Amino acid sequence: MQERVIMSDQEINNELLRSVFEHPLRFWVGAGVLGIFAAMWLISLSWLIYWGVGVTGLNRPVYWGFLITNFVFWVGISHAGTMISSILRLTQAEWRRPVVRAAEVMTVFSLGTAALFPLIHTGRPWRAVYWVFPYDFMRDVFPNVRSPLIWDPSAIFTYLTGSALFVYTALIPDLAVIRDRSTGLRRTIYGALALGWTGNTRQWKLQGIAGVLISALILPVFVSVHSIVSWDFAVSIVPIWHATVFAPYFVVGAVHSGVSAVLTLMAGMRWFFKWEKFIRPEHFDAVGRLLIVIATVWLYFFFLDFVFAIAAEETRELAVMERRVFEWPYWFLLVEIIILGYLIPVGMWLKRSVRRNIKLMFWSSLLVNVAMWSERYWLIVPGIERKYELKFSWSFYNPQLVELGLVVGSFGIVVFLLLMFSKLFPPIVLWEEKEGQRFAANVKIGQAVVPAIVKEE
Amino acid sequence: MACQAENNIPINEESAFRENRAIEWIRIERYWTDSEDFAESSPQYLPMTCQHCGNAPCEPVCPVYATYHTPDGLNAQIYNRCIGTRYCGNNCPWNVRYFNYHDPKFEDTFTNHLNPDVTVRSRGIMEKCSMCVQRIRRGVREARYDGRELQDGDIMPACAQTCPTNAIIFGDLNNPDSQVSQMVASDRNYELFGELGTAPGLTYLAKVDVDAEEHSEEEEHAAVPQSPVIWMTVNG
């Protein structure tokens, strides 16, 4: 950690609260551009709901398309937050510090966005309430618990609640700092949010316990969410969807795309808020090394999917697999997924100089997510286009402009929400940074150099 | 046509067929025999309608119980409960579940011809062959009013009624004397995708079946009338 800059607490506060207290031109430009994307999303959504699912390219039997692909993609992105913050917090990896909050907040926003997609994708979204919130007070009609679509909202909303709590617990001390630095209405609001935080020993102790507890409790949820999303497909009897490997495969794929998105976000934050002192090349280096492992595990599952299709000698599986490998546009997607999702980025990350080059890391992590989006499409659509051998009702899928608008717009709203968050709250955890400084500080006692703080277990 | 009129199926425009969105509760799938020479190959027709599986793949996946199994073995769709997740349509190997992508269209006076016994489905929900459930219920009711047992032939779905070659036969499988029971006993009987275990036909759990004989006809090219046998049990 030779590049670490030793800063006082005051300096850290000043630097990191810049995003909250200053309004540079780039903030307004960024908010404007992202606002346009968010508006595009809203317009597409209104169009879809007003005219109905008929405006999409869906037909029979291709009942699911871009919107479900996008749902799976955003649920995948949301896995980064827990992966980074809870696992790294429990394993006490030092390099997590500047990344945790950004990753957690991204989890919350991308999960919220993801949860919208199955809803707006239904034929009558205004009636979907008794699906997602199965509390029926009048008719005693309860949802069908056998359906994976009931497991889905339960898993997603558990995860959403958990990660929102996670963000909030870590936010309380920082809210108190903002409270102490502001006046008037803002002071009142942040004061209420800070829940009377004064920073005494007992509060810090409770805060630490809460952090560890939520980290540990959210881990099983983290694994279950994408497993359950994968069961939307694996439980069905559509060839290719019906695969036992889907649950771990989806989870690893989610971590792959999610951690790459964190990398993108880190580079973006470093550039946008000029936080070179906090987000340093060594952090990119560490995430890059982690990603090499994750990407390789993902590739293993990717090929395992082929193996299961071939080893089972199920003719229907093989037929769809053949289409996915040899027919346009799926052969192109397959090549793209392997090259952009693995060969180029991992090839680059193997070199230490690349891992410490922020520009290259930014672009390579974007490539991964392009590939991962295509991968979800490649998994979902071909199976239902050529479902079973009664080819009279075979069909194809032509995505329409509305669907494209919703997909592109969803990227806009997630980043827009992230920017808004950084306006209201510091996106890097103040106390984590200060704690990191304490750990880094050494004290000379006689001949020996020892850390200034020994962490209590 | 009989089905379209009986069940208030909206009029499919050309674009609906181009986009693969046409709603036809019963459709005749056309396949060609394998032959190098086009003149040698002959069409094979496969009437395709909901298989009313005893163990239907579409039922467990619906989050809101919009599709469920009636006690007499029908696979029923509850329109006002359906929210249109379309999962059931994905999970149906026969692709016989149809989604209303648009509001139904009935030109001018067509609205006067709608069957009052059948709901007109709105945009955004799934629909499928109901085995003319309104006719079944009426048949059971009338038999009960007359104080007699339900006879073979009392109930007939619209497709069976209009088929000039009696290729579709409907009846009670629990009644060994019914025409369907005798036809199902034939060794030409088979299930379409029976290997999936959805019990569309012959197991005693299954109560409704379509299509018992056309495959054997495809194999034998016999000149027998094509006879999809539809049979069901009525516990009325």
Measured CA to CA, the distance from residue A256 to residue A292 in angstroms comes to 9
CA-based nearest residue in chain B for residue A117: B85
Counts for chain B of helices (H) and strands (E), in that order: 8, 8
The answer to whether B102 contacts A118, with C-beta atoms less than 8 Å apart, is: no
Residues of B with CB under 8 A from a CB of A: 19-21, 27, 29-31, 46, 48, 57, 60-65, 81-87, 89-95, 97-103, 123-126, 193, 196
Longest alpha-carbon distance in chain A: 86
CA nearest to B186, candidates B206, B150, B155, B215 = B215
Burial state string for B6-16 with b = 16 or more CB within 10 A and e = fewer than 16? bbbbbeeeeeb
Which of B62, B85, B89 has the CB atom closest to A60's CB atom?
Answer: B89
Whole-angstrom distance, CA of residue A457 vs CA of residue A82: 22
Residues within 8 A of B (CB atoms), A 108-137 only: 118, 121-125, 127-128, 130-131
- A149 has a chain B CB within 8 A of its CB: yes
Half-sphere exposure of residue B102, counting CA atoms within 13 Å on the CB side? Answer: 17
Q: When comparing pLDDT for B193 and A257, which is higher? A: A257
Distance in angstroms (rounded) separating the CA atoms of residues B232 and B208: 4
Chain-centre distance for alpha carbon A181: 32
Q: Which residues pair with B76 in a beta bridge?
A: B68
Token pair 């199976």: residue? A383
Residue B201 has pLDDT above 50, yes or no: no
Q: Does domain B2-234 have CATH number 3.30.70.20?
A: yes
**Angle CA A321–A326–A332, to nearest 5:** 105
> What whole-number distance in Å separates Cα of residue A328 and Cα of residue A339?
17
Scanning chain B, the segments in alpha helix (DSSP H) are: 2-6, 14-18, 58-61, 87-90, 133-146, 158-162, 179-184, 214-220
- A24 CA: distance to closest CA in chain B (Å): 45
Two structure tokens written together for B56: 């239907």
Angstrom distance (rounded) from CA A211 to CA A151: 27
> Could you count the other beta carbons within 10 Å of the beta carbon of residue A375?
26
List CB contacts of A178: < 8 A, sequence separation 6 or more: A17, A20, A186, A190, A194, A425, A426
The larger pLDDT score, comparing residue A432 to residue B227, is at A432
Number of residues in chain B: 236
- A155 lies within 8 A of chain B by CB: no
CA distance B208 to B171: 9
Q: What secondary structure letter does DSSP report for B113?
A: G
User: B85–A388: do the CB atoms touch at under 8 Å?
Assistant: no
Domain positions in chain B:
2-234
The CA dihedral of A150, A49, A105, A233, to the nearest 10 degrees, is 40
Q: Which of A59, A127, A147 sits opposite B19 (nearest CB)?
A: A59
Pair type for strands B229-231 and B169-171: parallel
Tokens of B22: 């046409």
Q: How far apart are CA A98 and CA A430, in angstroms?
A: 9
Q: How far is A405 from chain B (nearest CA, A)?
A: 19
Nearest residue in B to A397, CA atom:
B19
- A74 CB-contact burial (10 Å; exposed 0-12 / middle 13-18 / buried 19+): buried
Q: Are A117 and A70 in contact (CB under 8 A)?
A: yes
- Which among A53, A62, A388 has the least Cβ separation from residue B124? A53
Q: How far is CA B86 from the centre of its chain?
A: 19
Mean pLDDT of successive 10-residue stretches along chain A, which has 457 residues = 62 78 84 91 92 88 91 90 77 77 89 90 82 64 82 89 89 87 85 86 88 86 89 88 88 91 90 84 86 92 86 82 86 91 88 86 91 91 85 86 91 91 85 73 65 48
CA distance linking residue A319 with residue A385, whole number of Å: 12
Q: What digits encode the pLDDT tens for the residues B102-147?
A: 888 888 788 888 888 888 888 889 999 888 888 888 888 888 899 8
Residue A45 Rama label (left phi>0; alpha psi -120 to 50; beta): alpha
**Residues of chain B contacting residue A235, judged by C-beta atoms under 8 Å apart:** 61
How would CATH label the architecture of A9-453?
Up-down Bundle (1.20)
User: Phi then psi for A448, rounded to 5 degrees?
Assistant: -85, 150
Residue A366 burial by Cβ neighbours in a 10 Å radius (0-12, 13-18, 19+): middle
Residues pairing with B27 in the sheet: B48
Quick one: pLDDT at residue B3?
86
For residue B202, what pLDDT band results from cuts at 50, 70 and 90?
very low
CA–CA gap between residue A247 and residue A270 (Å, rounded): 34
A255: CB partners within 8 A, 6+ apart = A79, A80, A83, A294, A298
B31, B80, B87, B122: which to substitute to probe chain A, counting the most A Cβ within 10 Å?
B87
Nearest-Cα distance to chain A for B55, in Å, is: 13
- Is the torsion defined by CA of B18, B23, B24, B29 positive or negative? positive
Q: Does the distance separating the beta carbons of B99 and A53 come in below 8 Å?
A: yes
- For B99, the closest of A123, A125, A235 (CB atoms) is A123
